[in-house]
Amino acid sequence: MDATALVASPLAIQIHAVSAIAALALGTIVLLMRKGTGLHKAMGRMWIGLMIVVALSSFLIAEIRMFGPYSLIHALSLYTLLGLVQAVLAIRRGNVRAHRRHMIALYSGALILAGAFTLLPGRRMHAVVFADGGVTAFLAALGVAAILAALYYQRRRAKLRDIAGEQF
């Protein structure tokens, strides 16, 4: 791993990348922890704040221009902002199922899927993460696999709870 490419980037890209990495880490913790606790709510609010920074900072990044200064990735930023609003409204209305669905969709789509695209060859984060030629790639793949396994377990546990009406 070599952060030189990120440090040499414009401030908007640095803010965007650091916020996204923090949101990925915090989101993993929030998704895996016990739900409904004060800590879950506090960390969830921090995650929402980070996601707002990630989405808004993307509009200051215009390296791939398709529609004026914007590209299709900016549609994901709009989706993220809308999804955050929907998730908050759902939980305020007591609709835990809709809240969970929105949060998991945002985490997996706006962070994991979009983050995977930033790791493609020729992209800035590819240069940062894979600079050592393989060790970091292996560790990154392991990390992604662990996150996906944790999300799978979380979803499966939620389905079992819905079916059985018990806490698993």
Tell me the residue range of the domain where 88 lies: 4-164
List pLDDT tens digits, range 113-146.
888 888 777 777 877 877 766 666 667 777 777 8
The alpha-helical segments, DSSP class H, found in 62-113 are 72-92, 96-105
What is the C-alpha separation between 25 and 125, in angstroms, rounded?
Answer: 17
Confidence of residue 168 (pLDDT cuts 50, 70, 90): very low
C-alpha to C-alpha distances, 121 to 7, 74, 114, 124, 143, nearest whole angstrom? 19, 20, 14, 8, 19
What is the C-alpha separation between 83 and 88, in angstroms, rounded?
Answer: 9
> Total structural domains in the chain?
1
* pTM higher than the cut 0.85: no
